[in-house]
Amino acid sequence: MWLQGTLTTMEFTMLKKRVPNNHNLTLWAEPQYQGLNVNTNHDLVSEYLSKLWRVIDASVREYPRTFAVLVELHCDLPTQEIATCNMVMQDFKDELDALIADYMKRRAETGKRVYSSSVRWVWAREQKNSHVPHFHVLLLFNQDVFFELGEFHADSGSLMAMIRNAWYAALGIPPELKRGLIHVPLNAEYQLKPSNQYAALPGLFAHASYMCKAETKPFGQRLQCFGGSRN
């Protein structure tokens, strides 16, 4: 096992306080989860933290060298109807998977080595004072396939271009319009690798734990607020 952790008695007790707007979820108020620091500026949802942990763990089990990146996917009023349905994030993931499969096929056709390239992810829907939601997304890749986002403004060829084109396709926007609906936060890229005992993991988990906050989730609107890979 590359990482391991168990809940203490105090940690188990913290799981019992319910999220005010969704009593199916419980709050986590400790400064650490599984021994890793979390964002302490917000009340976090314990089930979301568990999902985040499991997806990262599953990725590193399959790909001991994992490239992780955090991005924000935004919408505008013309795409409001699409953005507020429950399918938009799965549409984004399906489009991204298709673009990556096409990229790997082209590499194989030119005689280049091709690696396994399944993509894991975790995402959160946020909406507070805006008419449209935005989404925080953690994407996890085999680092032998992708080790950086690449050129932000490229039309094709970089991982960033594939992420952008997949999001625009999910929203039904022609990619050439380049509306600027993708935001990459500071310290967005992390390389998890055994050669340095996964030194980037604490920073990644602390950063990504922001997605697990209860605040600004549109509970009660029949919208999925959080999701991701099934390990």
Residue with tokens 């489009």: 95
Q: How many CA atoms lie within 13 A of 198 on its CB side?
A: 19
Mean pLDDT calculated for residue range 131-147: 95
Higher pLDDT, 8 or 209: 209
CB 75 within 8 A of CB 83: yes
**In 3D, which of 134, 124, 140, 116 has the Cα closest to residue 54?**
140
Q: How far apart are CA 229 and CA 138, in angstroms?
A: 11
Q: How confident is the model at residue 13 (pLDDT cuts 50, 70, 90)?
A: very low
Condensed to tens digits (0 to 9), the pLDDT of residues 65-106 reads 999 999 999 998 888 899 889 999 999 999 999 999 999 999
Structure-token pair, residue 98 = 């298709």
Give the Cα separation of 25 and 35 in Å (integer).
21
Residue 50 and residue 223 in contact, taking contact as beta carbons nearer than 8 Å? no
pLDDT of amino acid 9: 46
Residue 133 CA, chain-centre distance (Å), reads 16
Percent of the chain with pLDDT over 90: 68
Mean pLDDT of 184-203: 97
pLDDT band at residue 155 under the 50/70/90 scheme: low
Distance CA 2, CA 28 (A): 24
pLDDT of residue 202 exceeding 80, the answer is yes
- What pLDDT does 5 receive? 54
